[in-house]
Copies of this chain bind each other. A is one copy, B any other.
């Protein structure tokens, strides 16, 4: 049994395909095929059910998968403990992030990380499909960590660390009938046209499910990927928007940001890692810095 075989096995298991695993590993498919066969012969058990439409893990394969990951993690750690002594922490980290998160000062964070550990290379990746897409990429193994927003509930396969909780507020044009309220109930907005994020984003998920829980339907007429864009559309009369609210960002404009009550709608930003993997030293170094570079002045759930 070789580390190379375990690596290939894990790749095939994650991608459910010899062909795609070979692509990811930069070898030809026949090599992966032979390698897995060797592993199966050595272990005396078939690891995959081969089908014309990809492969599925057998019971034996399912048993091996976590153990194989453990082994690869241990091997990576073994490498790291030595290289750390000579050249500090090195390695490559891929962080999944949301399109426009100004609550985390990523440039400053990465500057600090570079200064502390020059050997770490960071790659940022944003997903067009929001937190849902990031979650998938993370569990598929394409990301080392991801920033995700949701209502604060757990996500299967991810270990989440909460960074920030911001109440969702309603953006209204100042000439709107509700614009002078001090607080708005969700039910008051059921008939409005909404500007919101696309399906898959945390914000959309929170608001959609809140309406669903109340038994209400709503209409999203414009989709944006940025709170600032949402505010701009509100300003131009395209509708109202429910987004995590930082009152300061709107001061002096003709858009009002009003607290939502009934129910509270907390928008929770977390950083997540896969429960199936252990983080590399490089990833851990990045994760350790995130809380310090998260804006804490608006960590509040109050109205």
Contact = CB atoms under 8 A, between A and B. Distances in A.
Interface in A1-60: 1-3, 6, 43-45, 47, 59-60
A60 to B, nearest CB: 5
Nearest to A86: B45
Contact of A82 (B2, B60, B73, B83): B60
B68 A78 contact: yes
Contacts of A81: 63-64, 67
Quickly give the copy total for this chain: 2
A173 B115 CA distance: 80
Contacts of A45: 82-83, 85-86
A18 to B, nearest CB: 19
Given A2-B3, A3-B3, A44-B83, A67 B60 contact: no
A270 interface: no
**Overall SS of chain A's interface:** helix
Interface in A245-266: none
19 contacts: A1-B75, A2-B3, A44-B83, A44-B87, A45-B85, A47-B82, A63-B82, A64-B81, A67-B81, A68-B78, A70-B77, A70-B78, A71-B71, A71-B74, A71-B75, A71-B77, A71-B78, A73-B74, A74-B74
